[in-house]
Amino acid sequence: MALLKRPNGTEDILPGASEEWQALEGLLRRTAQVSGFREIRIPTFEQTELFSRGVGETTDVVQKEMYTVTAKESSFTLRPEGTAGTIRAILQNGLLNEALPQRVYYILSCFRHERPQAGRLREFHQFGVEMAGSPDPSADAEVISLAHQIITELGVKDVALHINSIGCPECRRKYHEALRAYFLPHKAELCETCQERLDKNPMRLLDCKSPIDKEIGKDAPVILDYLCEECSSHFEKLKTYLDLLGIAYSVDPKIVRGLDYYTKTVFEFVTTSIGAQGTVCGGGRYDGLIEQLGGPATPALGFGMGLERMLLTLHSQGTDLSQPAPCDLYIVPMGGAAAERAMQLAATLRREGSAAQTDVMGRSLRAQMKYADKIGARFTMVIGDNELAAGEAVLKNMKSGEKISLRLDDSFAQAFSDIEIADRLALGNE
RNA sequence: GUGGGUAUAGCGUAGCUGGUUAACGCGUCAGUUUGUGGCACUGAAGACCAUCGGUUCGAAUCCGAUUAUCCACCCCA
């Protein structure tokens, strides 16, 4: 029988790697929580229309990357991102009726049918936050600051923050006109996709990698010159706030996010160390989305952070968050009677919160010691007929080799715990 | 969706001017006598050489297709 394989573009996270994910997730949760963000959990699939309306009918994500599944009469779509579903949940459960702003975070997997490559999977994991209710640039600064804090605490080095403002729909309409006017005379020289983009979404032209198009676009009008007074002052204030917080950034007028819901502030944290897919975190303001999804007109913003990309970046810089699975004590039984006693002792220790293991393979003493060493057991204890008769056994510290005698009675778990804690403290002081 | 690279034991690789039992390292398992791991040594298990088809007396080695994977475009996290 042929072995069934994982679908294209998916990953198994194995023991060893999963500890690293847990460490990352723990840091994300703690950081979000101290900023007042609380976790929200939403379904993996939603009505397809939520995404076509929320993310945007014309976006690539909606047009060609969605996993839409049909079961019986109904049809649903696996979420390609977290924002639409989160906003839907906020509205459906009336969270906007509570104290504003509403701050939520999530860790979830997203699904997009794209061609996999470095830093791009068909199922990927995202940490994201959304804040609803504030139109003020201080909210933008807070959200960016949260992402910045996470990246700093992770110790990621070469990640740069790029910000831009793409204005409100009104600014953008004027800007689109100006762009078309600029590029139209050069239309024939542009690459094929850009000729199409000229009509559909001229801002994407600025993003084109083709050297010819880049050259043509060099002197193209810049969105920042077309912002209305409101949008312009919003952006200026945001920059002031970022300076105030000591967060370095560069203004990149070429940032054009591919999801339709963005307004005003957009930003990306980009690294160059993991290949072409270097956007490790991206987000911005989406003041029109909540209304678009049938809620009350409410300003909001957020970001998504790609966890696989984050880990790739960390690894490329030699950082590894993973920690070995703990084993405080490995009990080495010799003989049937000892095996039964070992089983009891291990169970007792676990109830007291110590990580304890004993033999389940029927191995020789020597083989058991090797195993204990391999799994990184901090202490071992051999028990055989002698120990059972004496009611006492020798505890061995695997790192120092130090040996201590312990009674195998009711005081055992407590006595072991004391020794184990003392050892932990001693290691910490080294 | 479009290009290009790669596909040999759990992992990393050698073998690729076609020729008997496909090699090595790591890992796994057992052992190196009498009750204590790390090092070293001995041995074992583990591969229809991605799949299908073709060329040939003969293919892991050459050719084609398929699939998977990687990188890039596109797009985004």
In tens, the pLDDT along A182-201 reads 888 887 777 766 776 777 67
Greater confidence, A330 or A56?
A330
Domain ranges of chain A: 18-168+228-316, 329-425
Share of chain A above pLDDT 70, in %: 97
Could you tell me the distance in Å between the CA of residue A115 and the C1' of nucleotide B70? 12
What ipTM does this complex have? 0.88
pLDDT at A109 over 60: yes
Say which amino acid occupies A35: S
User: What is the average pLDDT across A12-31?
Assistant: 94
pLDDT at A429: 66
pLDDT at A6: 87
User: What is the average pLDDT across A34-62?
Assistant: 94
In tens, the pLDDT along A230-271 reads 999 999 999 999 999 999 999 998 887 777 788 999 999 999
Hey, is A45 helix, strand or coil? strand
In tens, the pLDDT along A382-428 reads 999 999 999 999 999 999 999 999 999 999 999 999 999 999 998 87
Could you tell me the distance in Å between the CA of residue A1 and the C1' of nucleotide B48? 12
Q: How confident is the model at residue A147 (pLDDT cuts 50, 70, 90)?
A: very high
Task: Judge contact between A202 and A183, C-beta under 8 A.
Answer: yes
The A 38-57 residues near strand B by Cβ under 7 Å are none
Class of domain A329-425: alpha beta
Instruction: Establish whether the CB of A72 is closer than 7 Å to any nucleic acid atom in strand B.
Output: no
Using the CB atoms, write b or e for A140-160: b if 16+ within 10 Å. bbbbbbbbbbbbeebebeebe
Nucleotide nearest to A194 (CA to C1'): B74
DSSP characters for A136-154? Answer: SHHHHHHHHHHHHHHHHHH
User: What is the average pLDDT across A106-126?
Assistant: 94
Q: Does domain A18-168+228-316 have CATH number 3.30.930.10?
A: yes
pLDDT at A358 over 90: yes
User: What is the average pLDDT across A351-374?
Assistant: 94
Nucleotide nearest to A81 (CA to C1'): B77
HEC per residue, A342-396: HHHHHHHHHHCCCCEEECCCCCCHHHHHHHHHHCCCCEEEEECHHHHHHCEEEEE
Indicate the length of chain A as a whole number.
430
pLDDT at A209: 63
Tokens coding A54: 């929320």
pLDDT at A208 over 80: no
pLDDT at A91 over 70: yes
pLDDT at A274 over 70: yes
Q: What stretch of H or E contains A283?
A: strand A279-285
